[in-house]
Amino acid sequence: MIDTGSTAFMLVCTMLVLLMTPGLAFFYGGLSRRKNVVNTMIMSVAVIGVVAVAWVVCGWSFAYGGDGSIPFFGGFDQIGLIGTVQDMLDEAANTPDVFAVLTGAGAIDPTAVKATYPAIINVVFQMAFAMITTAIITGAVAGRMKFGAVIAFCVAWVVLVYAPLAHMVWGGEGSLIGSMIGALDFAGGDVVHISSGLTGLILCILLGKRKGFGVMRNRPHNVPFVLLGATLLWFGWFGFNAGSEFAADGTAGLALVNTVAASGAACLSWLVVEKLETKHCTLTGGATGLVAGLVVITPAAGFVEPWAAVVMGIIVSPICYLAISKAKAKFGYDDALDAFGCHCVGGITGGILTGLFCVPDLSWTDYGGLFYTGDPSLLGSQILGILVTIVFVAVGSLVIGLVVKAAFGGLRVSEEDEALGLDVTVHGESAYPAFMGLD
């Protein structure tokens, strides 16, 4: 039976996740340089258009179509979402009369009716996930990548990398990572964060460093934008994690509590590390810690107890802080807005910690966390699932990046455009125009 409560819950969660991509635009825009803020933000906005179309055309089918017989791919049976409306009508027609069921006047046993929601909602819920994942990538290439190349890469990536990976993790029985390997990913540690962060790293290496990288310090140009973006992400993440239970029940509530607990703990942890390292607590640091906490709890949100969520938040901030402040300088890759350092590193941390703290009775598999069972089986599955994700994403992203590079005669804008800033040279507008008294 279609339950209006669960339907409303999933609709609200979907809209919250849709809010995250514009939120990311503000977060990234605030972190960028003033001359590139429009370019940085429009990449996230363009992703909304790219993914909305690609997901309807074939993304949903590649991720969740088919009969489950292929471990790493959905199918072609739902291309263009043809038949979706008819399925929705058939679903509604087969739903018993609510009054009849509740009063016992119908032919269906009320105790046998399981509350659910229209399956068509899943299409846009998963579309919103694909949007935010693809948009995260753009932070690594801010300030130097051709806009057309960004669009082309995103179109190919969401269809050829993201959709198959979503099937491998969330494709149900027979899927490679979620079923055959038995790795747990409640809301997107592998699918969203590791995939986007790692892809960002690969792209920024293909692009090369920004002019002046390692010599001049690139500070956030608008700290209030950073907080605004982080706030929108934080708010949207409640739908992201709680909605991944796909029901308005206790596990959704647990995911919500854990999301708040982990993000709060990570925010405090980041401020402590920052104070010890720099003698200052910054608003940018607090906002970044908040996001790191959201990342680390994503794979574990519905699997762990709140105390474990706090521990995970405390652990992730020092790890991400070191990846951003130390590893980037040591290895020399120019991940402009730290997509890799926050999302990939945080996602890997969360996936591994899920293998430690997963409550056995909440696990989707036969195994619980090492902390409860003393059995390393789940931890091993988590690590193997992460490794498979890394290999698949790295190979797929590298191939797409090289093809796009060849097609566009290079991924990078000219030195002159980079020096002047992409807002004016590429988009013909400025975030903060000097009107000089003229409208």
| Most confident stretch, 22-36, 68-82, 205-219 | 22-36
pLDDT tens track for 59-69? 999 999 998 88
* 243 in any annotated domain: yes
pLDDT at 23 (0 to 100): 98
**pTM of the predicted model over 0.85:** yes
| 209 pLDDT above the threshold of 50 | yes
pLDDT at 112 (0 to 100): 37
Task: Please compute the mean of the pLDDT values over residues 217-246 and round it to a whole number.
Answer: 95
pLDDT at 100 (0 to 100): 38
| Average pLDDT score over the chain | 92
Three-state DSSP class for residue 115: coil
| 97 pLDDT above the threshold of 80 | no
* 167 in any annotated domain: yes
The residue among 34, 350, 405, 44 whose CA lies nearest residue 222 is 34
| 99 pLDDT above the threshold of 90 | no
Three-state DSSP class for residue 106: coil
Structure tokens at 91: 């679903």
Least confident residue range of 72-86, 100-114, 217-231, 281-295? 100-114
The residue among 193, 152, 390, 410 whose CA lies nearest residue 295 is 193
pLDDT at 310 (0 to 100): 98
Other CB atoms within 10 Å distance of the CB of residue 84: 15
Least confident residue range of 49-63, 86-100, 286-300, 352-366? 86-100
pLDDT at 380 (0 to 100): 98
* 377 in any annotated domain: yes
Task: Please compute the mean of the pLDDT values over residues 44-62 and round it to a whole number.
Answer: 97
* 437 in any annotated domain: no
* 439 in any annotated domain: no
pLDDT tens track for 115-128? 488 889 999 999 99
pLDDT tens track for 349-396? 999 999 999 999 999 999 999 999 999 999 999 999 999 999 999 999
For 414, which DSSP code?
P
Name residues whose C-beta falls within 8 Å of residue 337's C-beta, 6 or more positions apart in sequence: 28, 31, 32, 40, 139, 140, 142
| 3 pLDDT above the threshold of 90 | no
Each residue of 276-308: b (16+ CB within 10 Å) or e?
eeeeeebebbbbbbbbbbbbbbbbbbbbbbeeb
* 435 in any annotated domain: no
| 413 pLDDT above the threshold of 50 | yes
pLDDT tens track for 140-166? 999 999 999 999 999 999 999 999 999
Q: Looking at residue 257, which CATH number applies to its domain?
A: 1.10.3430.10
Three-state DSSP class for residue 213: strand
| 113 pLDDT above the threshold of 70 | no
The 3-class secondary structure across 118-177, one letter per residue, is CCHHHHHHHHHHHHHHHHHHHHHHCCCECHHHHHHHHHHHHHHHHHHHHHHHHCCCCCHH
* Stated length of the chain: 439
| 95 pLDDT above the threshold of 70 | no
Task: Please compute the mean of the pLDDT values over residues 253-265 and round it to a whole number.
Answer: 98
pLDDT at 436 (0 to 100): 56
The whole-angstrom separation of Cα 126 and Cα 129 is 5
Q: Confidence band (pLDDT; 50, 70, 90) for 195? A: very high
pLDDT at 201 (0 to 100): 98
Share of the chain above pLDDT 90, in %: 84
The whole-angstrom separation of Cα 172 and Cα 158 is 20
Give me the number of domains the chain comprises: 1
pLDDT at 101 (0 to 100): 36
* 411 in any annotated domain: yes
* 32 in any annotated domain: yes
| Most confident stretch, 194-203, 330-339, 426-435 | 194-203
Q: For residue 83, what are the CA distances in angstroms to 1, 67, 95?
A: 21, 16, 18
Range of the domain at 161: 4-423
pLDDT at 88 (0 to 100): 77
